[in-house]
Structure 1
Amino acid sequence: MELDLINIGEIQLNSTQYNNSSAGVLGKATIVYEGKNYIVKSGMFSKPIFTTLEPVIECICSELIQLFKINCANYDLVKCTVQGNELWKTQESIVCISENFLGENEIIIHADNILNTKNTRTSYKHLTEVFKNNVIDINNMLIIDYIINNTDRHHKNFAMIYNSENNSLKFAPLYDHGFSLGQEMDIDYLESESDDFSEVYTESDYSKCCGVSNSSQIANIDYHSVKIDVDIEEIYKIIDKYKCYLKPATYEFMKYIIKRRLSYVKRVFTKGEGCYTRNNNI
């Protein structure tokens, strides 16, 4: 899919169209294209350009999560023209775009409104008490976040969908994974450690949902239904599709993270009837 023009520069200056849940880190906007509603996200603005890393990671994670058989927003890369202003010059850029997953009579209710807390994190116990009918969805989300090393699962980055026609609630598809797979690691640091990523790997383990690290979050989980019995080569094929957009050290670190994380989850959880359960012998 390719749009002729998405004028992110003008959208960012128009408060009636521009919206952002990440304190100005990523530009977000809604557009209508061929009668459908889409959400558009740029990469980070690093003077004088927009980076492509976050949109690329969003697309990689979208494909990976679908490979793991978990419902998520589907993202595509799109070329666009960003009109210049006093901050940046007119430039060709790459953004990611996702069709709005809300149906008729549906609204999204972000977790921060449901949890009723202003804290960045909450406990796993509180999280599963509040979402008591969706514990499997919470567990799946945290397992996914561990595997892809998502560092930005704050409480606006997951949600429920309310349908006013039948007065029902369901867990929303997972979305917003641009800060995953080591995105936050400095490229010079990655390149200097490319012979052995173990130290970088330890430093990159950070989360926002219900623990200070993705590792600490999954320590609470006894069961999930993420399809983890996938071959690592299938995962590498997805990452390889986007290799041309990635620095070599970033590309190698992504593969390092996901291989190590997936191997660990496979050791810790054993496949049972309908779900994977924790192997308490490990």
Structure 2
Amino acid sequence: MFNVTVAEASSILGVSVGRVHQLIRSGALDAEKVGGIWLVDRNSIETRLSSVPAAGRPSSHPAGKGQARYLLMSRNHPVLSFRFDSATGEFFDADEVMDSARAPLSVVSPRGKKASRKALAYWWGHRVIPKARHGIEEKLRELGIENAHDLPFRSMGLSLSDQYWVKPIDSNLDWADINFFENDFIEIETEEWLANVGLDSPDNTSDGALSKRWVCRDGERRLLKGGTLLEQEPYNEVIATNLFNRLLKPEEYVPYRLEEWGGAVVSSCPNFLRSDEEFIPALYVAEIARRPEGRSSYRHYVECCERLGITDAETALGKMIVGDYVMANSDRHWRNFGIVRNVETLECRIAPLFDTGTSLWCHIPTRELPFASFCSDAKPFFEDANRQLRLVDDASWLDLDKLTGFPEWASDFLEENPAMIGRTDSIFEGIQTRIDRLRAIFG
């Protein structure tokens, strides 16, 4: 009998309204639309209640209040079990490993026998919206959540950056029914960045301080990201796209474009992962082996990539370093470059370049820019950009003639942003100076 509203079904099942809509789309709940309103079949709700056991099972450690036992899954592969205390955000008993090969890198011991509770908590902490994200504290209060670590559990830890998710230990949930790669997710029609947080949405696991939001557009998953005071970062992403388009192959970078969102200009890019792939930040790649004393972080990272079967890491790093040099990228930290792994075959490849927004001296005040445009801090291997550039041994791929006209194009494009008044001449000069230096080094 179709007589239960979505809100009533949400209350009966103890899940969010967004989760009910997802269950309807997947066919797990029978429903029909009457007068523009979804009504759910009461019998299917009762069937759902009886088929999904309560979380938890006997443990060698008695569960405290607010603790539940979960499985960490990779698609439909059980990886490890753990207890999580929603009141404190603490993980317990993360030591029952089912599939060490598919575990997050650095979480499981080298022999694959144990999982580090501390490493699991650290890894999970980067699936949580940071407190630095504007408006998140108010959103948490609105949702009645004290600890941000509990937020991803609202959508089972689902992400569009990897294939990991969590479920109660004996739940019969299936990846095909719930993942965001193949199933549409709830989008509230509002221009508020955090509107979907708390629903069944990949926004619950979006890391980073800048405002961002996932959207579904014509079957494509796109990430929208805002800027800071001058809103220069979105323009920088498009400029980097133009740069990479001149120098690299299409599969080696993520293309960005500008969109308008909430009365402001934002950058928009497609998800670079297929539905059977995950992004692994370089931070975790570098932890698969202990770095020998005296070995540089650069050389160690290349060797770790080779252990994973990646043979072109050094060439790819050279392309990243050169691109970041031209863009004066000051934030290529160890989480925004890395590798892509197929979670079924475990084959790995270099991830395309993305996230170049914090560049072109966007954080330097306009009055100081004429005196600072030829220098910038660098990451990840050296703070000195010129020293980092010397790591590039093979530049046979670099055709500097393709950069003819790039500084002019970049400065003209930036002038479309009204906040760039008084900045573009210095930025043009800074880019041109860096290209001239590349010519002096690589000919």
TM-score under structure 2 normalisation?
0.50
Worse-matched range after superposition: 177-186 or 224-233 = 224-233
Q: 1:229 aligns with which of 384, 395, 401?
A: 401
Q: Where does residue 179 of structure 1 map in the other structure?
A: 358
**Alpha-carbon distance change, 13 to 218 in structure 1, aligned in 2, over 3 angstroms:** same
Which of the residues 79, 101, 107 maps onto 2:278? 107
Residue 214 (structure 2) aligned to one of 17, 27, 30 = 30
State the partner residue of 1:252. 425
1:129 maps to 2:293: no
Q: CA RMSD in A?
A: 2.4
Q: Tell me the secondary structure at the aligned position of residue 61 of structure 1.
A: helix
Gaps spanning 5+ residues in structure 1: where? Answer: 82-91, 194-198, 271-282
Looking at structure 1, the residues matched to 232 and 216 of structure 2 have their Cα atoms a distance apart, in angstroms, of 24
3-state secondary structure, aligned to 1:174: coil
Give aligned pairs, total. 238
Q: How does 1:1-282 map to 2 (within 5 A)?
A: 7-11=191-195, 14=198, 16=201, 17-22=203-208, 24=209, 26-44=210-228, 46=229, 51-70=230-249, 71-81=252-262, 92-116=263-287, 123-132=297-306, 133=311, 134-190=313-369, 193=370, 199-202=371-374, 204-224=375-395, 225-245=397-417, 246-270=419-443
- Tell me which moved more, 222-231 or 135-144: 222-231
Considering Cα pairs closer than 8 Å and 6+ residues apart, tell me whether 1 or 2 has the greater RCO: 1
Residue type of the alignment partner of 1:106: E
Letter in 1 for 2:430: I
Cα distance in 2 between the residues matched to 1:254 and 1:19: 34
- Identical aligned residues as a percent: 21
Bigger Rg, which one: 2
AA of the residue aligned to 2:400: I
C-alpha contact (below 8 Å) 2:224/2:267 kept by paired residues: yes
| TM-score, structure 1 normalization | 0.76
CA distance in 2, matches of 1:266, 1:11: 48
Structure 1 SS opposite 2:325: helix
Aligned to 1:273: none
5+ residue gaps, structure 2, are 1-188, 289-295
Maintained 8 Å contact 1:182/1:250: no
